[in-house]
Amino acid sequence: MRTLFLYLTFKVFWRFFFSVIIGVRFIGARKLLGHKQFVLASNHNSHADAVTLMTAIPNNRLSKTRPIAAADYFGINKFVSFISWFFLNLVLIPRKKAENPGDSDPIEIMDDVLKKGQSIILFPEGSRGEAGILQTFKKGVGYLMEKNRSIPVIPVYMEGIGRVLPKGNKIILPSLTKVYIGEALYFKEESAEEITKIIEQKILDLKEKSVKYKQNFN
């Protein structure tokens, strides 16, 4: 029943809203097909990012794809936590690495989700930044992929989404947005630092592709 609910939420309501009302276009969405499991790594400028990406997830993987979100924002109480899970399928993690015994560790939480056969949507910048400017990626994505080398990372660059729901704004605004999806990345012997840098560079490459795409059509 919940699988059907998520389908109606993301593939019917939100897909129509973002594609028709907002103007979101996906470039390379077919690269998401054929993967039983994946980590989607994207730049982060808006609270609309995760919902937008969920509308592109293949139907058969939708209920098993979990966007990662900050527990201090989307889990401020039990009711908000339930809404975040039920309507958005979010996994809530603390923003900082565990420092004291008993603290929840964000890497362990995400690793547990992957070990259960689910996929995740991750924003390696850690927090929403200024539209069009990538912040330095945090090494958490590298440590996570060190533990899960058989799972591909699919890089994504979202161009224009920061204008749809910019930081500090509560109103969704129409804005032509393009989402560039790259080729799957597999890691074998790279260190966490190397993995992080490779993913960051691939997303920067997609950003450059978006610039060239706009120039060609101007």
pLDDT of residue 68 exceeding 80: yes
Burial of 42 (0-12, 13-18, 19+ CB in 10 A): buried
For residue 92, the model assigns a pLDDT of 95
What is the rounded distance in angstroms from the CA atom of residue 21 to the CA atom of residue 176?
Answer: 10
Average pLDDT value over all residues in the chain: 87
pLDDT of 164 reads 59
* Average pLDDT of the residues in 48-61: 93
Regarding predicted confidence, which is higher, 186 or 97? 186
Strands (E), 5-126: 24-27, 39-42, 65-70, 91-93, 119-122
Q: Average pLDDT for residues 44-64, to the nearest whole number?
A: 91
Residue-wise pLDDT for 166-212, tens only, equals: 555 555 655 678 999 999 999 999 999 999 999 999 999 999 887 76
Q: Binning pLDDT at 50, 70 and 90, where does residue 8 land?
A: very high
Beta bridge partners of 198: none
**Percent of the chain at pLDDT exceeding 70:** 83
pLDDT in tens, 165-179: 555 555 565 567 899
Say if residue 142's pLDDT is above 90: yes
Query: Predicted confidence band at 215 (pLDDT cuts at 50, 70, 90)?
Result: low
| Residue type, position 61, single letter | R
Read off the pLDDT of each residue in 100-116 and give the average, rounded to a whole number. Answer: 87
Query: How far is CA 167 from each of CA 14, 38, 81, 208, rounded to the nearest angstrom?
Result: 20, 28, 21, 23
pLDDT exceeds cutoff 70 at 156: yes
Least confident of 36-40, 45-49, 61-65, 178-182: 45-49
Q: What is the pTM of this model?
A: 0.88
Which of 52-61, 112-121, 167-176, 191-200 is predicted with the least confidence, judged by mean pLDDT? 167-176
Q: Domains in the chain, start-ordered, CATH in brackets? A: 2-216 (3.40.1130.10)
DSSP 96: S
The confidence band for 46, taking pLDDT boundaries of 50, 70 and 90, is confident
Kindly tell me if the per-residue pLDDT of 112 is higher than 90.
Answer: yes
- Non-local (6+) Cβ contacts of 23 within 8 A are 174, 175, 176, 177
pLDDT at 75: 87
